[in-house]
A and B are shown apart, each in its own frame.
Chain A
Amino acid sequence: MESTPPRRFVRFAPSKFDKERLVDIRVTDMTAADAGWWDVRLAPKLARIDGRADRHWSWSVLLPVCHLVQRAKRRFCRPLVIWARADDRRYLRVGMSILIENYPYLDAQRPGGSHFAWFLCAADAHVLREDFAMSHPPALGRVLLDDAIVLSQNAGCGGRVGLHAARAGRDALLSVYRRCGLLALPKTAELPRGVSRPNDGRFFYADERVAETLAAALDASR
């Protein structure tokens, strides 16, 4: 019996300004050079946009800290960078994420492993267009989640993922994750062992069924 090859990351995403148009994207592992570039070249512009959850994020600090903290918890971080093709046909960093492998699944009624999307951010489309010569920045919400789902599936976690929507992202961030198709963990739900924070109603997750539905919808773009 033939085994199914692992899913790949998506390589195309619709343009933010023209949904009919597909933009080439690529995913790489994040290094200090990526974090440093983002902090110097992009973060100051994003910090001026009110309501962004990542206004104070310093990736140069976050990247090693997240690795070290998860190592202390005997887990592993998988930080990724999403690049998109700019007008000159070269690739520019447009999205960043730090995922945690083998994190407790947020649905405490069904204990198991999952991937936790700890830090996710996409560059502002208008900043990319006006300051970085990218006429068609990609829509990255689904792509950022898909990276976590695909890694979870390929790691044997069934695509199960979880995340916490930062309060700094206000209600708008909750709407983004709902629109992406994630399940909202009820505020009354108990969190699994190993997730110590009280449930503030801002946790989202995908079970196996939701994950497969979301991933399958992007299979043509891999």
Chain B
Amino acid sequence: MLLDAEAPATLGAVVEAVTRLSTLSEARILELVSAGKIGELFPFKPAAGQPVTQDTVAEEDLLEACATPLTPVQREALVNASLPSASTRRRRSSAKK
């Protein structure tokens, strides 16, 4: 899936799909996803060949999530880190145990 602002056609389709999904309840979306039908509403697939991280990490490399609400800046970073293009970044730094 490429959510690229430089690709208006892709971005437009994403906005359209998100708008459509936003009309559904969370329980309905859960059922669609569990039935393998999310592709019908959000017709995108992750780009093939994305690097996969190693199976395990050392404890010192884990940045534990904080159990309190995030700040707006931290939230923004978390949303950005959900996109494939952010996959090579270091683990996000919004959290502290």
Residues of A within 8 A of B (CB): 6-9, 26-37, 39-41, 53-58, 60-65, 67-69, 71-73, 76, 78-80, 83, 85-86, 88, 90-92, 100-101, 103, 116, 118-119, 132, 147, 150-151, 154-155, 164, 166-169, 195-197, 200, 202-203
* Interface presence of B70 (CB below 8 A): yes
Contacts of A63 in B (CB 8 A): 82
B2 CB to nearest chain A CB (Å): 11
- The interface on chain B, measured as residues whose beta carbon lies within 8 A of the other chain's beta carbons, has a size of 57
The answer to whether B55 touches A92 (Cβ under 8 A) is yes
Instruction: List, sorted by A's number, 19 A–B pairs whose CB atoms are closer than 8 Å.
Output: A9-B65, A9-B67, A26-B64, A31-B91, A37-B55, A39-B46, A57-B33, A60-B1, A62-B38, A65-B42, A71-B79, A76-B70, A91-B57, A118-B29, A147-B67, A154-B69, A196-B24, A196-B25, A196-B28
* Interface presence of B36 (CB below 8 A): yes
Contact of A28 among B31, B35, B64, B79 (CB under 8 A): B64
Contacts of B31 in A (CB 8 A): 166-168
Asked, given contacts A9-B67, A53-B34, whether A26 binds B83 with beta carbons under 8 Å apart, the answer is: no
Residues of B within 8 A of A (CB): 1, 3, 14, 18-19, 21-22, 24-31, 33-36, 38, 42, 44-46, 50, 52-53, 55-59, 62-65, 67-70, 75, 78-79, 81-89, 91-92, 94-95, 97
